[in-house]
Amino acid sequence: MKLVDPSGKEVTSKENKNAKDLENQLHKQIEKLLEPIFNKIKLSGAQVPQEQLMQLSSAAHQMLFNRMVYNLLLKVGVKEISEVLSEDDVEELQTSLSNQLQIVNPSEMDGPKNGPNKG
């Protein structure tokens, strides 16, 4: 979670006790949201891949964050998304997201069997 001071300078959670407290509160809410799912997994005796657990955790975080933003927007009276999100914001995020994408050849996705030691 990133917070900024009144001048717009980013304040890291290491420097800001309030940010750390907010992070802890959010983490507790994420745990609460995921608790029934994890209990269901334990009771069933099923195994869930680590990647899927991370996806669930990420989805829970995103859902809670989206709900917090929605509630905040309602509280301050925002009626149109354009009041808080511009086209420039979307374009900037498009670029950022695009820069995170790594495209691989389909042959590279098959794993070790097609690697240098393929026999």
Instruction: Flag whether 112 is in a domain.
Output: no
110: pLDDT strictly greater than 80: no
What total number of domains does the chain contain? 1
Question: With bands split at pLDDT 50, 70 and 90, how would you rate the model's confidence at 119?
Answer: very low
Beta strands (DSSP E) in the chain are 3-4, 10-11
Determine, yes or no, domain membership for 115: no
Residue 119: inside a domain: no
Q: 3 — phi, psi (to 5°)?
A: -120, 155
Q: Is residue 56 part of a domain?
A: yes
Q: How far apart are CA 65 and CA 57, in angstroms?
A: 12
The predicted pLDDT at position 1 comes to 56
Over residues 80-107, the pLDDT tens digits come to: 999 999 999 999 999 998 988 888 888 8
Contacts of 41 by beta carbon, 8 Å cutoff, 6+ apart:
48
**Which pLDDT score, from 0 to 100, does residue 108 have?**
74
Residue 116 lies in a domain: no
Within 10 angstroms of residue 57's Cβ, the number of other Cβ atoms is 15
Instruction: Report yes or no on 32 lying in a domain.
Output: yes
Residue-wise pLDDT for 7-34, tens only, equals 777 776 556 788 788 889 999 999 999 9
What was the pLDDT predicted at 67? 95
Task: Dig out the tokens for 68 from the structure.
Answer: 């917090």
Domain region containing 86: 3-103
**Is 93 within the bounds of a domain?**
yes
C-beta of residue 20 within 8 angstroms of C-beta of residue 12: no
- DSSP conformational letter for 102: -
Statement: residue 41 has pLDDT above 50 = yes
User: Does pTM top 0.75 for this prediction?
Assistant: no
- What is the structure's pLDDT at 117? 52
